[in-house]
Every structure is written in structure tokens, then in C-alpha cells.
Amino acid sequence: MKGAEAPWRELESDVVICGGGLGGIAAALAACRNGLRVILTEETDWIGGQLTSQGVPPDEHAWIERFGCTRSYRAMRDGLRRFYRDHLPLSEAARAQVFLNPGAGSVSRLCGEPRVAVAVLESMLAPYLGGGRLVVLREHKPVAAECEGDRVKSVEVRNLRNGHQRVLRARWFVDATELGDLLPLAKAEFVTGCEGRAATGELHAPEKADPANQQSFTVCFAIDHVDGQDHTIERPRDYEFWRDHVPALNPAWPGRLLSFDCPDPRTLERRAVGFSPVQDATAGMNLWVYRRIAAARQFTGGVYPGDLSLINWPQNDYMLGNLVGVEEAVAARSVDQAKQLSLSLLYWLQTAAPRPDGKSGWPGLRLRSDVMGTEDGLAKAPYIRESRRIRAMFTIREQDCGRAARASVQGRKESEATAESYPDTVGVGHYPIDLHPTTGGDNYIDFLSVPFQIPLGALLPVRLENLFPACKNIGSTHVTNGGYRLHPVEWNIGESVGSLIAFAARKKEPARSVREKAGMLGEFQDWIRDQGIETHWPRGPW
């Protein structure tokens, strides 16, 4: 076989980005708009990562509509709203909303469907595809890397459909995979799990270091509710196990996983939540509304026979196995079991869940495989909260951004605490430090942070010169990962990395020189600010 039909091909570019999630997309956009040629790979057939193939609406801070994200992230958000305005029959009330929220979900000011996000992200990449500046290889996974000294020379990727492999050569490489998969292939120094309190001095760090103590992951799914119909699925294979399962955590989980009793993430006390697909208000937070991605009342003409809700709850967090640091077969078995948990949760909701009217079960709940773009109705990929993390030139710790820790460092009231001000800031973000229960037995670790910055030093590996992180794999700790892993921060990380590569290429300098050389850092920060990357929070009060 020859040419394009050959199972083994070599492609060359300026930059190779492995991983088409939000960080990878943002890195590609930044590199392309600054004149570089990019190859972007993605394991699924949908770009967008946690927003699309994993199904999760954006987790954002309270000021997102005004400031605290990059210009291109805001363009993505605007594009989501514009898609609904241009292509769907919105009600008059919905069309009048300045900040349209199609799902009227409570978790975010912009809850929408994954496939809409795919369309918007594809449109953002479109200007660079036609001229060949950008090549996107969907359903390709990195399987090997060639290194020479402290530089990566090439990455080998496998086509997951036909098994054919390609060698991708470039001057620069970016790991934007959900689990930091490129790091071990390139023999990069990295950490997993928790470092332990003695190593980091963090107030909320687990006492002992444990590389296998990692946050749970979730296989999400979408459902709607059609009143008067029965869409009960076949009884899942592992239903009895999950029906009776009580998580073994410290502090203790308040009862069975499949129930409407779960711990409050902050206090860990029992918290009863509500559930009703036919009303917004319930006794306790209505889980149906929490991640609702289409509210039928927002549309006309019967486009949606009922609301659509994305199910990513404490009840389907999988805590019994890891995806990092285990054999591939073990990880695959954990994903299969996590799918069984999610299907068991759905079956329980359909048949046994207590209702506000005193009845049991909601048989009208319908699994929407079309919404997730899969045959089984579950998300294309697990929702990942924690990955491998590079050993970086600088590591972000709780003392830099945790509200209580900062108040202690600064000798201030918690309400007056501010984050560490990094001289090498290349972005901003904010979210509570939100760690879900771990496979090592830790219950929630959830506490307030202060609006923080993204330091360039956390994006630079300690040794490798041309490999950079663009996802949850930056130089954070197990604890601070809980605030730096969300949608707008991941996007900012990726955009800053793509910009760093483009700037270093223009200057014909190693990327770490941008941080180290006098004058160059300030020039780079001015350059990215001109391109819409906020490096500092505005002066309060907000």
C-alpha cells in the first residue's frame, strides 16, 4: 500500500497536541492563530472532552459573564448561545434572556447539550482546517514516544478503528489527554494520587502519600422524562451489587449509594436531596434540575417532549478502581463497572426511587443515546477528575489559593484573603477546591478558595524541554487539582501553552527561557493579554 492508503504514515508539523478536550482545543487555536501548523489527536469521535464526550456542562465561577476567562473561551460560550438562538425555536421568555441558559440548570449559567458544544468547537477550528494549518485525527490514541536527551522527537498514535499507526513528528508536543497519557510514554517525571501532608504542608492534604489514592471518575448519561410512558431498561447485570452498596469511606457515607441521602461536600453531614422530573422545587436540592441541559419550557413547538438532564451525581461516582497506574485491562474493567453503576442508578430511578407523591420509581425516564452519540446511551468517555501531573518548575499548593490557608499566611480574616500573586502569571481561574471521594477511602474534600492565577512555572516540566501539559496534568497537587481542573481553567491552561509555544518559536528560544530571561516574561505577558488572556483579576469589590 502506498500514499494515503498505507497503514503506516509519518506526518510532520510544528506542534503535535495529543488530546482534543478543552485544553487541547484552546492550545490548537492559540498556536494556529499565531501562524504554527498543528496536528491535534483525539481518542473519541467528538472533540471537547469534559464538555462533550464526557457530557458535563461547564463548572464556572460567579463572575464568568463579566470577567475571569479568556477571550476565546468567552467566544465559545457566546457561540453556544448563538447556536440555540439561530437553530432552535426558543420561547419568547428564553429569547429575551440576555444570558440564555438553555437547560436552566442550577450548576452553571450555561447548561446545554454536548452535541451543540461539538458543533461550536468545530466551527472555531474550521478557519484553520481548510488551508491545512490544522489536521485533526479523531479516534487516535498515543501509544509510544521517541525521545532524544531532554526532547521528544516523535509520538506514535494508533487509529482505534483500524489499528493502523502513524508517527507524528514536530518541534513541540502538548499532552492534553484526559489522563496525562503522553507523560509516561515520553518518560516525563510525574506524580499521581496524593502527595501527603508532610510533603506539601497543605491543611487539607491526606496525611499519607499514596499514588493510588485518586479521585473517583463518573460515566455520565442523559435522560428525559416522558409522562405516561414506560422506558424502563433491562435490569443491569450488577444491579443487586450497586443497590446494596455502601461506600467504605472515612468519614462514613450516610447509607446506601443508591439513595437520596449523601454527604454534604463541605460538612460531610447527611444531606437529603430531592428528585422530580416534573417540578423544579423539591424538598432539598432537586438533582433533576442540577445538571439539566434542556428545559422544555425554554422551547416551542414540542421540540423537547420533556426536559433533558445530564446525570453526574454523587450516586454514580465510581470509587472502586483507578484508571491511572494500573494495567490497561484493569482500567477497562473499572470503566465497565462504572457503566454498570450508572445503568443501575437509572434502573433504580425508574423502578425504586422514592417520589414526592409517595409512589416509587419514574418509568417515564428515558435513556437518550442520541444526546450522547453512543449506542449504549452512556457518555463516550468517563468524566475524569484527576490525572497524572507533571513534576513542574513550580507546584501550586493550597497555601497559594485556599481561603483558610491564605488567611493564615497573610494574617487576615478569611473574607479578606487573596491568592498568591505570581510574577509569571499567564491566566486566572476560580472554583472551590472540590475533590470527590477517592479510591483510597477519603470522603469529599471541599472548601473555599480565593480567585487565583495560573503560574507559567506550573506549565513547565522540570526536565523535558518541548513537552507541555494542557489539561489536569499541570504542576498542581492532589488538593489544588480540585480547583484547577474545571472547564474555563483548563481552557486557559491550554491557550497559554499554545501561546507560549508560538512566542518561543518566534523568538527562537527554548520555552523555559520565556520565564527565565529578563524582560522576556513581561513581553510574553503583554503579548497574551493583547490576545485576550487575562493574567490578573480586576480590583474588587465585584
Q: Which of 310, 338, 372 is the last residue of a domain?
A: 372
Are 361 and 438 in a shared domain?
Answer: no
Are 357 and 268 in a shared domain?
Answer: yes
Report the CATH number that the domain containing residue 155 is assigned in CATH: 3.50.50.60
Tell me, what's the pLDDT at 2?
A: 45
Task: Give the integer Cα–Cα distance in Å for 149 and 464.
Answer: 8
Task: Give the integer Cα–Cα distance in Å for 424 and 490.
Answer: 18
Are 354 and 234 in a shared domain?
Answer: yes
Task: Give the integer Cα–Cα distance in Å for 194 and 128.
Answer: 40
Please indicate, yes or no, if residue 343 is contained in any of the structural domains: yes
Are 273 and 398 in a shared domain?
Answer: no
Mean pLDDT (10-residue bins), the chain, 542 residues: 57 98 98 98 98 97 97 98 98 97 95 98 97 96 98 98 97 98 98 97 95 98 96 98 97 97 96 93 92 97 94 98 97 98 98 96 97 96 98 98 97 96 98 98 98 98 98 98 98 98 97 95 98 95 79
Tell me, what's the pLDDT at 283?
A: 83
Are 39 and 180 in a shared domain?
Answer: yes
Containing domain of residue 173, as a range?
A: 7-104+113-194+386-530
Tell me, what's the pLDDT at 6?
A: 56
Place of cell 414526592: 356
Are 368 and 390 in a shared domain?
Answer: no
Please indicate, yes or no, if residue 320 is contained in any of the structural domains: yes
Please indicate, yes or no, if residue 355 is contained in any of the structural domains: yes
Are 326 and 443 in a shared domain?
Answer: no
Are 227 and 164 in a shared domain?
Answer: no
pLDDT in tens, 98-117: 999 999 999 999 999 999 99
Are 188 and 221 in a shared domain?
Answer: no
CB 470 within 8 A of CB 508: no
Are 366 and 422 in a shared domain?
Answer: no
List, in sequence order, every beta strand (DSSP E) within 374-473: 389-390, 425-429, 433-435, 445-447, 452-455, 467-469
Please indicate, yes or no, if residue 172 is contained in any of the structural domains: yes
Q: How many domains does the chain have?
A: 2
Please indicate, yes or no, if residue 173 is contained in any of the structural domains: yes
Are 329 and 288 in a shared domain?
Answer: yes
Please indicate, yes or no, if residue 93 is contained in any of the structural domains: yes
Cell of 522: 513581561
